[in-house]
Structure 1
Amino acid sequence: MCLQYGTGSPANAQFVGMWETLNNVYRLEGVRGLYRGFLPGVFGISHGALQFMAYEELKTLYNKHRNQPIDTRLTTMEYLTFAALSKMFAAATTYPYQVVRSRLQEQHRSYNGVWDCIKQIWVRESFRGMFKGLNAYMLHIVPNIMIVFGIYEAVLNIHAEMRLEQDLASAEE
């Protein structure tokens, strides 16, 4: 539905809802059309793994640099900074898969698979083509992840405080 541009031929059919879109894609392109861009999308799973790895590694390295135990609680600003940096790292590392996936799903150019798509992007747009739209993407996701990780760390902190209170209450008994 995001990739609709015009009307006219069946290749440019306009879809108004999810079920109509699924039905028409299946009718026009078959099962293969429903899974166009799936393979590059699978690589998107690595994005979250890289992000969490970078986030935890940044916290650990920072505490080691300060000669603190690695599980020392940080300030909210430090958590937000590490969330932003880890997201920027993961996004910059994995963004080309999103470009390829989007291009494969687009109906206005034909590709013969993932490698053909990558080759066409490279020939027409070079290295920059693989990162087209990254700046706008960063403006969207970095504040979002800062909020998510801020909440994540706040919940972890609340949980740690509750455990400490339970341990103190158990010790008093």
Structure 2
Amino acid sequence: MTLCITNPIWVTKTRLVLQYDAGVDPSKRQYAGMSDALIKIYKTEGIRGLYKGFVPGLFGTSHGALQFMAYEDLKQRYNKYRNRVSDTKLNTAEYIMMAAVSKIFAVTATYPYQVVRARLQDQHNRYSGVLDVIRRTWRKEGIHGFYKGIVPNVIRVTPACCITFVVYENVSGFLLGFRKENN
């Protein structure tokens, strides 16, 4: 549902980012801003233009599922390795490690969809669909073409993920402790 609502925003963002032909002269830009881009994309490409990259975007929903699955599995395996009960609370450094590893796993597993999606949304290249993007990327760039930009992406998203999981675990632990005290 979120993808249905936000895909036009992603297309617009991608188009605005890819206005590299204009250089520093604003008068040569294809789009003046977000509203202008949304309107022009709709007028020139219709509703389909606003939903370019939607199919690969559906694969993005698996990112969170993979990350949470890996996170929980890593915590359980780690506790088993340390000969502890599987739901033993970890310390902050251990939570950070589990969060970072699970995020890197999820990013690596799902990153190619982001490349395919961005290329479908690029107004400078024309593709006939998802399979065309995959074929052309594979033929011209090989497997590396599907992982362009992954290192800066991992560096960007991992710290936020670690903070989120540490906060989640601490707040969750606090609330569960608070609940037990009041029962």
TM-score (normalizing by structure 2): 0.85
The alignment status of 1:88 with 2:104, answered yes or no, reads: yes
Amino acid paired to 2:132: D
What stretches of structure 2 of length at least 5 have no aligned partner? 1-15, 23-27
Q: What is residue 147 of structure 1 aligned with on the other side? A: 163
Where does 1:25-104 land on structure 2 (aligned, <5 Å)?
25-104=41-120
| Whole-angstrom distance in 2 between the partners of 1:92 and 1:163 | 38
Name which one, 1 or 2, has greater alpha-carbon Rg.
1
SS in 1 for 2:87: coil
Query: Whose helix fraction is larger, Structure 1's or Structure 2's?
Result: 2
Q: When the two structures are aligned, how many residues end up with a matched partner? A: 163
The alignment status of 1:158 with 2:174, answered yes or no, reads: yes
Deviation of residue 65 (structure 1)? Answer: 1.4
Q: What is residue 142 of structure 2 aligned with on the other side? A: 126
- After TM superposition, the runs of 4+ consecutive aligned structure 1 residues lying more than 3 A away are none
Taking only the aligned residue pairs, the percentage that are identical comes to: 50
| Whole-angstrom distance in 1 between the partners of 2:36 and 2:143 | 37
Deviation of residue 31 (structure 1)? Answer: 1.0
Amino acid paired to 2:20: Y
Deviation of residue 13 (structure 1)? Answer: 5.5
SS in 2 for 1:149: helix
Amino acid paired to 2:106: A
Provide the aligned C-alpha RMSD in A: 1.3
- Which of 30, 36, 43 is matched with 1:14 structurally? 30
Q: What is residue 5 of structure 1 aligned with on the other side? A: 20
1:4-31 CA deviation, whole Å, 9 max, x = no partner?
Answer: 2224xxxx86223322211110011111
What stretches of structure 1 of length at least 5 have no aligned partner? 168-173
TM-score (normalizing by structure 1): 0.90
| Whole-angstrom distance in 2 between the partners of 1:55 and 1:16 | 42
| Whole-angstrom distance in 2 between the partners of 1:55 and 1:14 | 43
